[in-house]
């Protein structure tokens, strides 16, 4: 990153080291912000967003309604954070972005956003980012006096590549590897600070029948829609990821099982009350949920997951469309 006071200073530094063309060429949006999110300067990749609302002077105005508060929270924390969010690219049209917020001197922030794509496009992004990492390494040999700035830029690109690789391409939720990593991290934190922690394992009822009757494309759409419902109806800072197949894992930091039970009731009602229209065919969906609260000093991440899984199957045995709590 390059620390500066004005856009001209930023451009002068970039130009001096031959990187202006690179900043103007990359698809990642780079925006310099005041501490409250006010726009100071940006690269050409951000112009598409700016065109949607030329008069908007604060970055929060470009986030979707559900992501605005999360952005404000990251500003308040004043620490480096990464997350996924939706940004406006046209009127009423949003795309998913992998976002990185980095504090810089004078109480400002550098915001970097890379569009998240799927399948072959995802691989192309990762390959391109990796090529940029190699380019930064080569350039650093010839620009020792900006080595530290280049290193920070390279780390930012590597973070983006790593984050894109850890998103489930179908649902845009965290994939199995990432959600399990976060589960392990939350258990360590709960044990260290003696705070409660609970998880919910969610399974779509009769999903095999959905695939058999309506086809796998319809099954994929059901997975996407259920994922969106779960993501949009959990509280912050709870986290949801696709654990595998038709199963989703929700992490509830600083929460006892009573909070997970209340959430399970809301999610079950939301999914049950939101039929999915696939090619003019209405599919009614229900979910079964297994809840487990961490037993400090007893549970590992594997045993906690196993207890939640056992509770989830108990909910299925008792008729589905309900939840059960592990003992």
> Which residues are 141's β-sheet partners?
none
For residue 244, the surrounding DSSP H or E stretch is: strand 239-244
pLDDT value of residue 4? 43
Owning domain of residue 155: 7-165
Concerning whether 246 is annotated as a catalytic residue, the answer is yes
Q: Which of the 8 DSSP states describes residue 64? A: -
Residue at a domain's end among 165, 192, 218? 165
The conformation of residue 3, written as its DSSP 8-state character, comes to -
Q: Is residue 93 part of a domain?
A: yes
Nearest to 45 by CA among 107, 120, 97: 97
Q: Based on the fold, state whether residues 151 and 232 are members of the same structural domain.
A: no
- Based on the domain organization, do 72 and 191 belong to the same domain? no
One domain, residues 156 and 190: no
In the chain, the number of structural domains is 2
Q: Which residue in the list 86, 186, 246, 293 is annotated as catalytic?
A: 246
Do 248 and 139 fall within a single domain? no
Which of the residue ranges 130-139, 161-170, 226-235, 298-307 would you say has the lowest mean pLDDT? Answer: 130-139
Comparing C-alpha atoms, which of 219, 223, 224 is closest to residue 209?
219
Dihedral-angle region of residue 189 (phi above 0 means left; psi in -120 to 50 means alpha; beta otherwise): alpha
Model confidence at 3, in pLDDT bands (50, 70, 90)?
Answer: very low
Q: What is the pLDDT of residue 97?
A: 85
List the CATH number of the domain containing 214.
3.30.70.270
- Does this model's pTM top 0.75? My answer is no
In this structure, what are the phi and psi dihedrals at residue 25, rounded to the nearest 5 degrees? -95, -35
Position 217 in a domain: yes
pLDDT tens digits, one per residue of 93-115: 778 888 999 999 999 999 999 88
Nearest to 186 by CA among 201, 198, 177: 198
């Amino acid at each position: 990153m390059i620390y500066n006071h004005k856009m001209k200073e930023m451009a002068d530094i970039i130009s001096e080291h031959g990187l202006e063309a690179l900043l103007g060429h990359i698809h990642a949006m780079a925006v310099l912000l005041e501490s409250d999110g006010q726009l100071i300067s940006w690269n050409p990749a951000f112009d598409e967003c700016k065109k949607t609302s030329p008069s908007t002077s604060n970055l929060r105005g470009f986030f979707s309604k559900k992501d605005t508060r999360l952005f404000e929270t990251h500003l308040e924390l004043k620490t480096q954070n990464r997350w996924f969010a939706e940004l406006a690219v046209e009127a009423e049209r949003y795309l998913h972005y992998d976002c990185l917020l980095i504090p810089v001197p004078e109480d400002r922030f550098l915001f970097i956003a890379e569009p998240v794509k799927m399948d072959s496009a995802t691989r192309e992004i990762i390959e391109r980012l990796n090529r940029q990492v190699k380019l930064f390494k080569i350039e650093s040999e010839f620009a020792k006096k900006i080595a530290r700035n280049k290193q920070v830029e390279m780390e930012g690109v590597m973070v983006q590549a790593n984050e894109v690789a850890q998103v489930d391409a179908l649902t845009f939720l965290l994939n199995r590897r990432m959600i399990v990593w976060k589960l392990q991290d939350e258990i360590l934190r709960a044990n260290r600070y003696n705070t409660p922690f609970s998880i919910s394992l969610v399974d779509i009822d009769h999903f095999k029948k959905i695939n058999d009757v309506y086809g796998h494309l319809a099954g994929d759409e059901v997975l996407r829609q259920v994922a969106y419902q779960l993501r949009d109806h959990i509280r912050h800072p709870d986290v949801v990821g696709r654990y595998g197949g038709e199963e989703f894992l929700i992490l509830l930091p600083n929460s006892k099982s009573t909070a997970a039970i209340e959430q399970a009731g809301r999610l079950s009602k939301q999914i049950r009350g939101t039929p999915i229209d696939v090619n003019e065919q209405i599919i009614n969906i229900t979910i079964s949920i297994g809840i487990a609260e961490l037993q400090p000093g007893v549970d590992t991440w594997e045993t906690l997951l196993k207890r939640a899984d056992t509770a989830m199957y108990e909910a299925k045995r008792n008729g589905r469309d309900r939840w059960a709590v592990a003992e």
